[in-house]
Amino acid sequence: MKPTKEEIISQLRQDMIRWEGFRPQQPGASNDLGLGPVATAFSDGVFPTGAIHEFISSSPEDTAASGGFIAGLVQKILGNGGACLWISYTRRIYPPALKLFGVDPDRVIFIDVPLQKDVLWVTEEALKCEGVATVICETKALSFTESQRLALAVEKSHVTGFILRKDVKKTNTTACVTRWQIRPVRSQLRPGMPGVGHPRWQVELLKVRNGRPGNWTVEWKKQSFQTVIVPQIIESNRRYA
Amino acid sequence: MPKRFASIWFRHLLTDQKAIHQTGLKGKAYVFAEPDHGRMLIMALTEEARKYGITEGMTVADARVIAPDLLVFDGKPGRNIKLLTGLAEWCLRYTPLVQLDPPDGLLLDVTGCTHLKGGEKAYLQEIASRLKTIGYDVRPAIADTIGAAWGVARCAASGLIVPAGAHRNALMTLPPSALRLPMDQLLKLRNLGLHQISSFIYMPNSVLRRRFGKDMVLRLQQALGQEPEYLFPLKEPVPYSERLECLEAIKTRPAIEIALNELLEKLCKRLYGEGLGLRSAMFSWFRVDGKNGNITIGTNHSSNRVLHLFKLFFTKLDTVAPGLAGIELFTLDALKTEPINDKQSELWSAKGGAHNEEVAELLDRVANQIGTAPIHRYLPGEHYWPERTPKLNSDIKKAPESQWRTDKPRPMQILDRPEPIEAMALTPDYPPKLFIWKGEQHIIVGADGPERIEREWWLEPGEHRDYYIAEDEAGRRYWLFRSGHYNAENNQHWYLHGFFA
């Protein structure tokens, strides 16, 4: 039977995804990082591991929020074994906080590179190593060529890379699979309760290859991501209906 | 050339060694005891312990009755052999032929060696004084035969250097125990009233053999030099070093790489056979024009994989400068080796952390490029003070001794040193209403706290801190603290210390 037009097109789409560096999920490895509704933004509903993700932040508050979001992802990735490397030039991350996001701080190897120009070299070496599960790199600048090198490095080794770019004034094109921006938002407690609630972020997926960018409010609660549907808008609608 | 032998007797080998490592023990009465048939027997003791009347072979319980303040350490069987081997290797500087003489001595063939130190007296004096500065109580002696030197070292009151040919006379006045005889024969000789060698040395050999067995005659004849006796010298330790001489001077980079690879293969093969791995190695080159240089690498864990070690050297090969003349000799020295860890055990621990080989090799490469200092892990430190809670640890494999705390929230980002802020707090024990940091005003809408963290006064003086988690209008979460107590005079010190996720 001759394949219909739709079948041919869907087959071609699948091929293109593969050519662009996406790989089908490996059998046995759980790739569900617990992102819930956020994961629907990706091409097949699965967070792409074995790729480079870019997080941009412009203030230390944003960097902290991004760090929390990344730590939540790393927790799931480390569940399959392997090492985690945190490479940085000016690191301010406070290791005990990682424990609150399910990552054992003693499992993370921190490399505080003394010279900024070595950061990307170390990152590339780490991304090439198959024994490593995930690499987090804090850097400021990342040019297109540099990001291409990193993307090529992970293509063979299947390491998941997170590039946390601090103090970004102007974004440039990169070869990363996604670009995220995480901002802290007001936490919510039950009405009438004083204090500060669970960490809550505005997760903005600015760019994603073969997917739909989106914007969600995510809360870290009970050791997992909970997508929050912000209630104020609904309430105000109801009030004036 | 007539043979000359030296015997060195370590009178308190084990106890001296203990005192060298624990200087506080010097001049104290202590013993080493080993279990034997359910009791603890004393195996070695100090001179001070001997003064109480304690001897070898006594049970510890008996000795404790005599000397209540006696210190008892566990002895390890075979420890003396290990110590003697080390000392024998040390003695190789005096003569190439050294033999262990268990339980507590060394035998040296010093034929033709003594003139190097200016005669036998100076030679012996130097050995004795150098061993004494290390901390060993020794008695050395030199004689024509091994037996005579042994006997004189242990039993003679004076005259530790027996002149050539005079060993027969020197032995005359010594007790029979100078002849390396077993205990039962010594007892037999004493029962017969033979207290000196001179009292039975003139007896015919056939008579002695009938009464005491042929071993005793052999020992006597060996001491007198009538029977030959040979040393079984200690094997000299061969250093882990390889050389590659080039027929023609080498100038090109590929040739240098081949040379390095060849040396590594040779060295690694030998290390593999002995179950060892490299921790540190030096690759040196010698140029035809007399110049030379070297490069050194280090690894995090012992490795004898050629490919990995080659990669470590590879990043530094640029510094090899053959010049115009070229290189004629390469050497590779293992500066530090360690037993290679068992791969079998790693199979059980799944694919965990930094334990697998690939990660360790990656860290080696990084360390060779940027140094080992930047690579570290954090283990939970048993401190509340935020700056000390994570304990820096450069060992990649060490497991944490305690759990990380999760009961108190901690910020994701922390400032190296807290930054002072202008804050407005209206009431004691309440978080500030607003604060100004870097010229920006933050109005606080929600806060948790205070969490008081006291200064660890035994480490440093200073004020305690009251920490608050504060959230501002935009949802940004901060870790603020007030240093010291609240006071109404409006000169409180508020600081920003971190940012929550």
| Of residues B407, B440, B482, B380, the one with CA closest to residue A60 | B440
**Residues of chain A positioned with their CB less than 8 A from the CB of B367:** none
Domain membership of residue B202 (yes or no) is yes
Closest chain B residue to A114 measured between Cα atoms? B374
B133 plus B271 within the same structural domain: no
Q: Which residue has the tokens 């530790």?
A: B160
- Of A64, A101, A132, which has the smallest distance from its Cβ to B411's Cβ? A64
Q: CB under 8 Å to A117, separation ≥6 — which residues?
A: none
**Residues of chain B positioned with their CB less than 8 A from the CB of A83:** 353-354, 356, 359
Q: What are the structural domains of chain A?
A: 44-185 (3.40.50.300)
Rounded Cα gap, residues B39 and B165, in angstroms: 48
Q: What is the pLDDT at residue B320?
A: 85
Rounded Cα gap, residues A116 and A89, in angstroms: 6
Per-position b or e across B179-217, b if 16+ CB within 10 A of its CB: bbbeeebeebbeeeebeebeebeeeeeeebeeebeeebb
B204 plus B156 within the same structural domain: yes
- Of B378, B447, B473, which has the smallest distance from its Cβ to A95's Cβ? B378
Q: What is the pLDDT at residue B491?
A: 66
Rounded Cα gap, residues A15 and B84, in angstroms: 73
- Of B363, B470, B501, which has the smallest distance from its Cβ to A68's Cβ? B501
Three-class SS state of A23: coil
Would you call B410 and A81 a contact, using CB atoms and an 8 Å cutoff? no
Q: What is the pLDDT at residue B344?
A: 43
Three-class SS state of A180: strand
CA B108 to chain CA centroid, nearest Å: 27
Tokens for B253? 């980079």
Would you call A110 and B378 a contact, using CB atoms and an 8 Å cutoff? yes
Biggest CA-to-CA distance, chain B:
113
Would you call A109 and B362 a contact, using CB atoms and an 8 Å cutoff? no
Domain boundary residue, one of B333, B354, B369: B369
Q: Which CATH number is B185's domain given?
A: 3.30.70.270
Ranges of chain A whose pLDDT falls below 70? 1, 20-31, 230-241
Three-class SS state of B21: helix
**Residues of chain A positioned with their CB less than 8 A from the CB of B396:** 109
Tokens for A196? 């500060």
Q: What is the pLDDT at residue A184?
A: 92
B289 plus B310 within the same structural domain: yes
| Of residues A131, A165, A140, the one with CA closest to residue A52 | A165
Rounded Cα gap, residues B474 and B455, in angstroms: 32
B254 plus B345 within the same structural domain: yes
Closest chain B residue to A69 measured between Cα atoms? B501
Domain membership of residue B50 (yes or no) is yes
Q: What is the pLDDT at residue A230?
A: 67
Ranges of chain B whose pLDDT falls below 50? 344-354
**Residues of chain A positioned with their CB less than 8 A from the CB of B382:** none
Domain membership of residue B47 (yes or no) is yes
Q: Count residue pairs from A and B with Cβ separation < 8 A.
A: 177
B1 plus B113 within the same structural domain: yes
B321 plus B268 within the same structural domain: yes
Would you call A184 and B501 a contact, using CB atoms and an 8 Å cutoff? yes
Let me know: does B420 contact B493? Beta carbons within 8 Å: yes
Would you call B501 and A101 a contact, using CB atoms and an 8 Å cutoff? yes
- Of A81, A93, A111, which has the smallest distance from its Cβ to B413's Cβ? A93
Would you call B412 and A118 a contact, using CB atoms and an 8 Å cutoff? no
Q: How far apart are the CA of A127 and the nearest CA of chain B, in angstroms?
A: 10
**Residues of chain B positioned with their CB less than 8 A from the CB of A80:** 351
Q: How far apart are the CA of B349 and the nearest CA of chain A, in angstroms?
A: 10
Rounded Cα gap, residues A58 and A54, in angstroms: 13
* Amino acid letter, A149: R
**Residues of chain B positioned with their CB less than 8 A from the CB of A184:** 474-477, 500-501
Would you call A94 and B498 a contact, using CB atoms and an 8 Å cutoff? yes
Domain membership of residue B144 (yes or no) is yes
**Residues of chain A positioned with their CB less than 8 A from the CB of B498:** 64, 94
ipTM, two decimals, is: 0.84
Q: What is the pLDDT at residue B350?
A: 44
Domain membership of residue B390 (yes or no) is no
B194 plus B46 within the same structural domain: yes
**Residues of chain B positioned with their CB less than 8 A from the CB of A136:** none
Helix B79-91 and helix B13-21, axial crossing angle in degrees, nearest 10: 80
Q: What is the pLDDT at residue B345?
A: 42
Let me know: does B230 contact B320? Beta carbons within 8 Å: no
Domain membership of residue B377 (yes or no) is no
Would you call A196 and B447 a contact, using CB atoms and an 8 Å cutoff? yes
B295 φ, ψ to 5°?
Answer: -130, 145
B440 plus B487 within the same structural domain: yes
What are the C-alpha distances in Å from A37 to residues A47, A77, B73?
11, 18, 67
Let me know: does A226 contact A219? Beta carbons within 8 Å: yes
Closest chain B residue to A102 measured between Cα atoms? B406
Would you call B396 and A109 a contact, using CB atoms and an 8 Å cutoff? yes
**Residues of chain B positioned with their CB less than 8 A from the CB of A89:** none
Q: What is the pLDDT at residue A71?
A: 92
- Of A81, A132, A196, which has the smallest distance from its Cβ to B477's Cβ? A196
Rounded Cα gap, residues B281 and B274, in angstroms: 17
SS (H, E, C) B418-467: EEEEEEECCCCCCCCCEEEECCEEEEEEEEEEEEEECCCCCCCCCCCEEE
My answer on whether omega of the bond before B450 falls inside 30° of 0, hence cis, is: yes
Domain membership of residue B457 (yes or no) is yes
**Residues of chain A positioned with their CB less than 8 A from the CB of B378:** 95-96, 105-106, 108, 110
B228 plus B282 within the same structural domain: no
Domain boundary residue, one of B210, B237, B264: B237
| Of residues A55, A50, A41, the one with CA closest to residue A20 | A50
Q: What is the pLDDT at residue A232?
A: 54
Domain boundary residue, one of B237, B261, B286: B237
Q: What is the pLDDT at residue A240?
A: 52
Domain membership of residue B494 (yes or no) is yes
B233 plus B245 within the same structural domain: no
Radius of gyration of chain A (CA): 19
Q: How far apart are the CA of A6 and the nearest CA of chain B, in angstroms?
A: 43
**End-to-end CA, chain B:** 86
Rounded Cα gap, residues B363 and B41, in angstroms: 50
Rounded Cα gap, residues B312 and B368, in angstroms: 7
B27 plus B109 within the same structural domain: yes
Closest chain A residue to B361 measured between Cα atoms? A129
Give the count of domains, chain B: 3
Tokens for B180? 């390396």
Q: What is the pLDDT at residue B355?
A: 53
Beta pairing class for B5-10 and B105-109: antiparallel
Q: How far apart are the CA of A74 and the nearest CA of chain B, in angstroms?
A: 13
* Amino acid letter, B274: E
Q: CB under 8 Å to B86, separation ≥6 — which residues?
A: none
Edge-to-edge order in the sheet of strand B292-303: B241-250, B327-339, B276-287, B292-303
Would you call B370 and A68 a contact, using CB atoms and an 8 Å cutoff? no
The range of the structural domain enclosing residue B226 comes to 1-237
Provide DSSP, B296-351. Answer: EEEEEEEE--HHHHHHHHHTTGGG---TTT-EEEEEEEEEEEEEPPPHHHHHHT-S
Tokens for B456? 């660890």
Tokens for A94? 């406070």
Let me know: does B136 contact B144? Beta carbons within 8 Å: no
Tokens for A224? 């997992």
Q: What is the pLDDT at residue A14?
A: 80
Closest chain A residue to B407 measured between Cα atoms? A100
B248 plus B221 within the same structural domain: no
**End-to-end CA, chain A:** 56
Q: How far apart are the CA of A144 and the nearest CA of chain B, in angstroms?
A: 24
